[in-house]
């Protein structure tokens, strides 16, 4: 009779021990805030000006060559030499062209003699015709012969002029003043007509060649002003957009722009690296955020805003153009708000975060 009572007592004791141990079980610690990179809208984003890297070029880069083929006998300049318009660059062997000119002049003299003989014969035939010793058809044949001889004389004179010009073509001269940037001519070298022998760069018309992406090309126009800085030079130069390519470059898929360098100095050299900035290229009120800061929430672009309590909240925004610096936000964000830029795909609504601000050089 006592065993059932003892069993009930033991069962109650075990249950009581379990309840007591459960009450003393330690509570689970809250999750640590998740670290995310953040930026302050309107402060860490790009400035209102757009900057591009370019190269100093000459507006006029002339590739010159001989107009006839031949053998080079002398070269008068070297790379880096300053030349004036009309200065001798190189010369071909003129013997063949001189002989051709002499032969052409001899043909002219022969044609002149033939014309004089034909005219004298025509005068005699005209006298015989007036005396009615020959017919009108016979006279017409001599008149035709004089006209033919005159045409041959004009042809010989034209050929002689061409030969004289070719004699002058044996000398290659500079077509403009500038500096010799390239020359491929050595004595003894045989070249063909039109082959590039030298390149001359005009130093009076320097400009900067840059490539502008298609997202920014509509903000620039011919005549816009620009600020230009060169590496290792503290001075800032003024420039003006001279030319905008109507089509994108097939290799870079960007548009080539040429900015005229105003009041360039002698220390500005061809091929130097330049930084070109346009203050009017980007509206001052635009907000640019990194591409990594924008995600899709329910089919709409959104960003994660971090409030003062270090809590993340998703917010829908309106996006604009995609630029080299990031995505333009046209609505949904206000300046001085903090948003997450990296690590957003692990965030949930209301999650506590630890804001980490990267150094400026990391954002470049």
Could you read off the pLDDT tens digit of each residue along the chain, which spans 364 residues?
444 544 555 555 555 555 545 455 555 556 678 888 888 887 444 444 578 899 999 999 999 999 999 999 999 999 999 999 999 999 999 998 888 888 989 999 999 999 999 899 888 888 888 888 888 888 888 889 989 999 999 999 999 888 888 888 999 999 999 999 999 989 999 999 999 999 999 998 899 999 988 878 888 899 999 999 988 788 889 999 999 999 988 888 889 999 999 888 888 888 899 999 986 544 445 688 888 889 988 888 999 999 988 898 999 998 887 776 788 888 888 888 999 988 888 888 888 888 887 655 454 4
Residue 341 and residue 322: Cα distance in Å, rounded?
16
Q: What is the DSSP letter of 26?
A: P
Domains in the chain (CATH in brackets) are: 34-48+285-363 (2.40.420.20), 50-59+205-278 (2.40.30.170), 65-93+170-200 (2.40.50.100), 95-167 (1.10.287.470)
Q: pLDDT tens-digit profile of 269-320? A: 888 999 999 865 444 456 888 888 899 888 889 999 999 888 989 999 988 8
Q: What is the DSSP letter of 30?
A: P
CA distances from 343 to 32, 38, 226, 238, 347 (A): 15, 9, 38, 42, 7
Q: Which residues contact 164 (CB under 8 A, 6 or more apart)?
A: 101, 104
Q: Which residues contact 87 (CB under 8 A, 6 or more apart)?
A: 76, 77, 173, 174
Q: pLDDT tens-digit profile of 152-202? A: 999 999 998 888 888 889 999 999 999 999 999 899 999 999 999 999 999
């Amino acid at each position: 009779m006592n065993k059932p009572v003892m069993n009930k007592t033991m069962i109650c004791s075990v249950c009581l021990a379990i309840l007591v141990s459960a009450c003393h079980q330690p509570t689970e610690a809250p999750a640590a805030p998740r670290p995310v990179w953040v930026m302050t809208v309107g402060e860490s984003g790009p400035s209102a000006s757009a900057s591009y890297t370019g190269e100093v070029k000459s507006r006029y880069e002339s590739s010159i060559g001989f107009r006839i083929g031949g053998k080079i006998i002398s070269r008068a300049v070297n790379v880096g030499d300053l030349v004036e318009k009309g200065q001798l660059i190189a010369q071909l062997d003129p013997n063949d062209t001189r002989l051709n000119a002499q032969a052409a002049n001899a043909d002219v003299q022969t044609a002149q003699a033939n014309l004089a003989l034909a005219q004298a014969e025509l005068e005699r035939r005209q006298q015989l015709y007036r005396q009615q010793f020959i017919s009108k058809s016979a006279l017409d044949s001599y008149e035709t012969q004089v006209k033919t001889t005159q045409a041959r004389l004009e042809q010989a004179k034209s050929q002689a002029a061409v030969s004289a010009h070719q004699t002058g073509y044996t000398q290659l001269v500079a077509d403009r003043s500038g500096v010799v940037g390239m020359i491929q001519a050595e004595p003894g070298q045989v070249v063909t007509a039109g082959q590039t022998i030298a390149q001359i760069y005009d130093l009076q018309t320097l400009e900067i060649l840059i490539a502008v992406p298609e997202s920014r090309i509509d903000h620039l126009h011919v005549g816009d002003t620009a600020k230009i800085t060169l590496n290792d030079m503290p001075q800032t130069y003024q420039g003006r957009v001279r030319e905008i390519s109507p089509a994108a470059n097939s290799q870079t898929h960007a548009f080539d722009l040429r900015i005229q360098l105003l009041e360039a100095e002698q220390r500005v050299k061809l091929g130097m690296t330049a930084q070109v900035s346009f203050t009017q290229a980007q509206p001052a009120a635009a907000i640019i955020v990194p591409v990594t800061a924008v995600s899709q929430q329910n089919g709409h672009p959104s960003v994660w805003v971090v409030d003062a309590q270090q809590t993340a909240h998703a917010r829908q925004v309106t996006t604009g153009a995609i630029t080299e610096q990031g995505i333009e936000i046209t609505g949904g964000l206000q300046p001085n708000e903090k948003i997450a830029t990296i690590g957003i795909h692990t965030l949930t609504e209301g999650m506590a975060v630890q804001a980490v601000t990267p150094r400026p050089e990391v954002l470049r």
